[in-house]
Protein backbone atom coordinates (compact mmCIF):
# COMPACT_ATOMS: atom_id res chain seq x y z
CA UNK A 1 0.00 0.00 0.00
CA UNK A 2 1.26 3.50 -0.81
CA UNK A 3 2.26 5.48 2.26
CA UNK A 4 3.50 8.95 3.15
CA UNK A 5 6.57 9.42 5.34
CA UNK A 6 6.84 12.79 7.04
CA UNK A 7 10.34 13.98 7.88
CA UNK A 8 11.67 16.89 9.92
CA UNK A 9 14.65 18.91 8.73
CA UNK A 10 17.65 18.94 11.07
CA UNK A 11 18.52 22.39 9.74
CA UNK A 12 15.07 23.53 10.84
CA UNK A 13 15.86 22.28 14.36
CA UNK A 14 18.50 25.00 14.76
CA UNK A 15 17.22 27.62 17.21
CA UNK A 16 19.62 30.48 16.37
CA UNK A 17 18.18 32.28 19.39
CA UNK A 18 19.89 35.29 20.92
CA UNK A 19 20.42 33.26 24.12
CA UNK A 20 22.95 31.17 22.18
CA UNK A 21 21.51 27.82 23.30
CA UNK A 22 21.37 24.96 20.79
CA UNK A 23 20.17 21.42 21.35
CA UNK A 24 22.56 18.54 20.65
CA UNK A 25 22.10 16.24 17.67
CA UNK A 26 21.01 13.51 20.06
CA UNK A 27 18.37 15.77 21.63
CA UNK A 28 17.05 16.86 18.24
CA UNK A 29 16.64 13.34 16.90
CA UNK A 30 15.01 12.22 20.14
CA UNK A 31 12.53 15.11 19.82
CA UNK A 32 11.80 14.22 16.21
CA UNK A 33 11.25 10.55 17.00
CA UNK A 34 9.09 11.35 20.02
CA UNK A 35 6.87 13.63 17.94
CA UNK A 36 5.99 10.85 15.52
CA UNK A 37 8.04 11.83 12.49
CA UNK A 38 9.25 9.06 10.21
CA UNK A 39 12.70 10.45 9.57
CA UNK A 40 14.97 13.44 9.13
CA UNK A 41 16.50 15.51 6.35
CA UNK A 42 20.15 16.50 6.60
CA UNK A 43 23.31 17.36 4.70
CA UNK A 44 24.82 14.02 3.66
CA UNK A 45 28.30 15.07 2.48
CA UNK A 46 30.46 14.41 5.55
CA UNK A 47 31.07 10.71 6.21
CA UNK A 48 31.77 11.02 9.95
CA UNK A 49 28.68 13.16 10.56
CA UNK A 50 26.53 10.79 8.51
CA UNK A 51 27.75 7.80 10.52
CA UNK A 52 26.82 9.59 13.73
CA UNK A 53 23.38 10.54 12.42
CA UNK A 54 22.74 7.07 11.01
CA UNK A 55 23.52 5.38 14.33
CA UNK A 56 21.00 7.62 16.09
CA UNK A 57 18.36 7.06 13.43
CA UNK A 58 18.76 3.32 13.77
CA UNK A 59 18.20 3.55 17.53
CA UNK A 60 14.89 5.33 16.95
CA UNK A 61 13.71 3.43 13.86
CA UNK A 62 13.89 6.47 11.60
CA UNK A 63 15.02 6.90 8.00
CA UNK A 64 16.59 9.86 6.19
CA UNK A 65 16.61 12.20 3.26
CA UNK A 66 20.19 13.15 2.38
CA UNK A 67 21.02 16.49 0.82
CA UNK A 68 23.95 17.54 -1.34
CA UNK A 69 24.96 20.55 -3.40
CA UNK A 70 27.06 19.44 -6.39
CA UNK A 71 28.50 21.92 -8.85
CA UNK A 72 30.03 19.27 -11.12
CA UNK A 73 29.14 15.73 -12.13
CA UNK A 74 32.02 14.35 -10.08
CA UNK A 75 30.86 16.20 -6.95
CA UNK A 76 28.03 13.68 -6.67
CA UNK A 77 30.26 10.59 -6.57
CA UNK A 78 31.45 10.76 -2.92
CA UNK A 79 27.93 11.56 -1.69
CA UNK A 80 26.55 8.50 -3.46
CA UNK A 81 29.29 6.41 -1.83
CA UNK A 82 28.43 7.75 1.64
CA UNK A 83 24.70 7.26 1.03
CA UNK A 84 25.27 3.69 -0.17
CA UNK A 85 27.18 2.93 3.05
CA UNK A 86 24.57 4.50 5.33
CA UNK A 87 21.32 3.81 3.51
CA UNK A 88 18.73 6.46 2.64
CA UNK A 89 15.13 6.88 1.65
CA UNK A 90 16.30 9.19 -1.13
CA UNK A 91 19.01 11.72 -1.98
CA UNK A 92 18.20 15.34 -2.75
CA UNK A 93 20.41 17.25 -5.18
CA UNK A 94 20.41 21.04 -4.97
CA UNK A 95 22.32 21.77 -8.19
CA UNK A 96 24.76 24.46 -7.08
CA UNK A 97 25.17 26.09 -10.48
CA UNK A 98 23.36 28.97 -12.16
CA UNK A 99 23.58 28.55 -15.94
CA UNK A 100 21.86 31.09 -18.15
CA UNK A 101 21.50 28.58 -21.00
CA UNK A 102 19.70 25.25 -20.99
CA UNK A 103 22.55 23.78 -23.03
CA UNK A 104 24.89 24.23 -20.07
CA UNK A 105 22.57 22.20 -17.82
CA UNK A 106 22.31 19.17 -20.08
CA UNK A 107 25.75 17.58 -19.42
CA UNK A 108 25.31 18.07 -15.66
CA UNK A 109 21.84 16.53 -15.50
CA UNK A 110 22.83 13.70 -17.82
CA UNK A 111 25.92 12.98 -15.70
CA UNK A 112 24.03 13.02 -12.41
CA UNK A 113 21.31 10.80 -13.84
CA UNK A 114 23.89 8.35 -15.14
CA UNK A 115 25.56 8.12 -11.72
CA UNK A 116 22.19 7.79 -10.00
CA UNK A 117 21.39 4.68 -12.01
CA UNK A 118 24.22 2.90 -10.16
CA UNK A 119 22.62 3.15 -6.70
CA UNK A 120 19.54 1.47 -5.23
CA UNK A 121 17.87 4.58 -3.80
CA UNK A 122 16.14 7.43 -5.68
CA UNK A 123 17.97 10.68 -6.46
CA UNK A 124 15.89 13.80 -7.02
CA UNK A 125 16.70 17.35 -8.20
CA UNK A 126 15.29 20.04 -5.91
CA UNK A 127 13.56 23.21 -7.03
CA UNK A 128 15.31 25.96 -5.06
CA UNK A 129 16.36 29.59 -5.33
CA UNK A 130 19.98 30.39 -6.21
CA UNK A 131 20.36 26.99 -7.88
CA UNK A 132 19.96 25.66 -11.42
CA UNK A 133 16.22 25.51 -10.72
CA UNK A 134 15.92 29.01 -9.27
CA UNK A 135 13.51 30.26 -11.97
CA UNK A 136 10.13 28.71 -12.63
CA UNK A 137 10.19 29.24 -16.39
CA UNK A 138 13.76 27.94 -16.69
CA UNK A 139 12.74 24.85 -14.72
CA UNK A 140 9.76 24.29 -17.01
CA UNK A 141 12.17 24.49 -19.95
CA UNK A 142 14.34 21.87 -18.24
CA UNK A 143 11.28 19.63 -18.03
CA UNK A 144 10.75 20.12 -21.76
CA UNK A 145 14.32 18.89 -22.23
CA UNK A 146 14.00 16.07 -19.67
CA UNK A 147 10.31 15.10 -19.39
CA UNK A 148 11.19 12.26 -17.02
CA UNK A 149 13.35 14.42 -14.71
CA UNK A 150 12.47 13.52 -11.12
CA UNK A 151 12.13 16.64 -9.00
CA UNK A 152 11.94 17.28 -5.30
CA UNK A 153 9.37 20.04 -5.13
CA UNK A 154 9.93 23.01 -2.87
CA UNK A 155 7.41 25.29 -4.51
CA UNK A 156 7.73 28.06 -1.92
CA UNK A 157 10.68 29.36 -3.94
CA UNK A 158 8.63 29.70 -7.10
CA UNK A 159 5.79 31.59 -5.44
CA UNK A 160 8.04 34.21 -3.86
CA UNK A 161 10.40 34.26 -6.83
CA UNK A 162 7.64 35.00 -9.33
CA UNK A 163 5.56 37.04 -6.85
CA UNK A 164 2.26 35.62 -8.10
CA UNK A 165 -0.68 37.97 -7.73
CA UNK A 166 -3.54 37.01 -5.45
CA UNK A 167 -5.77 35.28 -6.28
CA UNK A 168 -3.52 32.91 -8.19
CA UNK A 169 -4.70 32.68 -11.79
CA UNK A 170 -5.15 29.46 -13.72
CA UNK A 171 -2.01 30.03 -15.79
CA UNK A 172 0.20 30.13 -12.71
CA UNK A 173 -1.65 27.22 -11.13
CA UNK A 174 -0.90 25.33 -14.33
CA UNK A 175 2.82 26.10 -14.09
CA UNK A 176 2.97 24.86 -10.50
CA UNK A 177 0.92 21.77 -11.34
CA UNK A 178 3.41 20.88 -14.07
CA UNK A 179 6.24 21.01 -11.54
CA UNK A 180 4.20 18.94 -9.08
CA UNK A 181 3.53 16.37 -11.80
CA UNK A 182 7.30 15.76 -11.88
CA UNK A 183 7.80 15.84 -8.09
CA UNK A 184 8.65 12.59 -6.30
CA UNK A 185 9.18 14.15 -2.86
CA UNK A 186 8.31 17.47 -1.23
CA UNK A 187 9.77 20.09 1.08
CA UNK A 188 7.19 21.91 3.15
CA UNK A 189 7.17 25.59 3.90
CA UNK A 190 4.55 28.21 3.14
CA UNK A 191 5.47 31.38 1.27
CA UNK A 192 3.60 34.54 0.42
CA UNK A 193 4.24 36.85 -2.52
CA UNK A 194 6.89 38.68 -0.51
CA UNK A 195 8.38 36.19 1.99
CA UNK A 196 9.65 32.67 1.41
CA UNK A 197 8.54 31.48 4.87
CA UNK A 198 5.60 32.92 6.73
CA UNK A 199 4.10 31.99 10.09
CA UNK A 200 1.48 29.34 9.36
CA UNK A 201 -0.18 29.76 12.75
CA UNK A 202 -1.14 33.41 12.08
CA UNK A 203 -4.84 33.65 11.10
CA UNK A 204 -4.17 36.25 8.39
CA UNK A 205 -1.80 33.80 6.67
CA UNK A 206 -4.44 31.07 6.36
CA UNK A 207 -5.08 31.88 2.71
CA UNK A 208 -1.45 31.07 1.87
CA UNK A 209 -1.46 27.96 4.05
CA UNK A 210 -4.61 26.70 2.32
CA UNK A 211 -3.06 27.42 -1.08
CA UNK A 212 -0.02 25.29 -0.29
CA UNK A 213 -2.11 22.51 1.22
CA UNK A 214 -4.14 22.44 -1.99
CA UNK A 215 -0.96 22.37 -4.11
CA UNK A 216 0.52 19.58 -2.00
CA UNK A 217 -2.71 17.60 -2.25
CA UNK A 218 -2.55 17.97 -6.03
CA UNK A 219 1.04 16.71 -5.86
CA UNK A 220 0.01 13.76 -3.70
CA UNK A 221 -2.74 12.79 -6.15
CA UNK A 222 -0.31 13.06 -9.05
CA UNK A 223 2.32 10.99 -7.25
CA UNK A 224 -0.19 8.27 -6.39
CA UNK A 225 -0.99 7.86 -10.09
CA UNK A 226 2.69 7.63 -11.06
CA UNK A 227 4.16 5.61 -8.17
CA UNK A 228 4.10 1.88 -7.62
CA UNK A 229 1.54 0.24 -5.30
CA UNK A 230 3.97 -0.17 -2.39
CA UNK A 231 6.08 2.99 -2.73
CA UNK A 232 6.47 5.67 -0.06
CA UNK A 233 6.27 9.41 -0.59
CA UNK A 234 8.50 11.63 1.55
CA UNK A 235 7.37 15.05 2.75
CA UNK A 236 9.86 17.10 4.78
CA UNK A 237 8.72 19.84 7.14
CA UNK A 238 11.38 22.48 6.52
CA UNK A 239 10.58 25.61 8.50
CA UNK A 240 14.07 27.04 8.56
CA UNK A 241 15.74 29.25 11.17
CA UNK A 242 16.47 32.92 10.58
CA UNK A 243 16.94 34.47 8.10
CA UNK A 244 14.28 32.17 6.61
CA UNK A 245 12.13 32.63 9.69
CA UNK A 246 10.74 36.12 10.18
CA UNK A 247 12.12 37.71 13.35
CA UNK A 248 10.94 40.43 15.70
CA UNK A 249 12.85 43.44 17.07
CA UNK A 250 14.57 41.16 19.61
CA UNK A 251 16.17 39.19 16.77
CA UNK A 252 14.21 36.01 17.54
CA UNK A 253 11.49 34.06 15.73
CA UNK A 254 7.99 35.51 15.90
CA UNK A 255 6.55 32.02 16.44
CA UNK A 256 7.55 28.63 17.80
CA UNK A 257 8.80 26.92 14.64
CA UNK A 258 8.78 23.49 16.28
CA UNK A 259 5.10 23.90 17.14
CA UNK A 260 4.40 25.04 13.58
CA UNK A 261 6.30 22.04 12.17
CA UNK A 262 4.07 19.76 14.23
CA UNK A 263 1.06 21.67 12.95
CA UNK A 264 2.27 21.20 9.36
CA UNK A 265 2.88 17.49 9.93
CA UNK A 266 -0.68 16.97 11.13
CA UNK A 267 -2.23 19.04 8.34
CA UNK A 268 -0.24 17.23 5.66
CA UNK A 269 -1.07 13.81 7.06
CA UNK A 270 -4.75 14.78 7.20
CA UNK A 271 -4.67 15.74 3.50
CA UNK A 272 -3.01 12.44 2.64
CA UNK A 273 -5.51 10.47 4.72
CA UNK A 274 -8.39 12.27 3.02
CA UNK A 275 -7.25 10.86 -0.32
CA UNK A 276 -7.45 7.32 1.02
CA UNK A 277 -10.86 8.04 2.51
Nearest C-alpha neighbor of 237 from the set 215, 217, 266: 266
Q: What torsion, rounded to 10 degrees, do the Cα atoms 49, 91, 119, 121 define?
A: 110
**Averaged pLDDT for residues 188-211:** 98
Query: Whole-model pTM?
Result: 0.98
Distance CA 202, CA 169 (A): 24
Q: Is 103 exposed, middle or buried (0-12, 13-18, 19+ CB in 10 A)?
A: exposed
E runs forming strands in 10-82: 39-43, 63-68
- Predicted confidence band at 277 (pLDDT cuts at 50, 70, 90)? confident
Nearest C-alpha neighbor of 237 from the set 3, 5, 4, 9: 9
Q: Could you say which DSSP state residue 132 is in? A: T
- Predicted confidence band at 163 (pLDDT cuts at 50, 70, 90)? very high
Distance CA 36, CA 32 (A): 7
CB 41, CB 67: distance < 8 Å:
yes
Tell me the CA end-to-end span of the chain in Å, nearest whole number: 14
**Averaged pLDDT for residues 13-21:** 98
Check pLDDT > 90 for residue 276. no
Amino acid sequence: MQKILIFQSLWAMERRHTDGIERSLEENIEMIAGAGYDGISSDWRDRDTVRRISALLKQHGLTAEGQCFPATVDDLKPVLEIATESGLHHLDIQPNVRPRRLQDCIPLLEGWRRLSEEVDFPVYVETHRDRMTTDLFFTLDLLDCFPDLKLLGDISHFLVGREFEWPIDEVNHGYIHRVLDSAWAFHGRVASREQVQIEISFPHHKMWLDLFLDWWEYGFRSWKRRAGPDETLAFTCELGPKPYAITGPDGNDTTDRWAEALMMKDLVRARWDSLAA
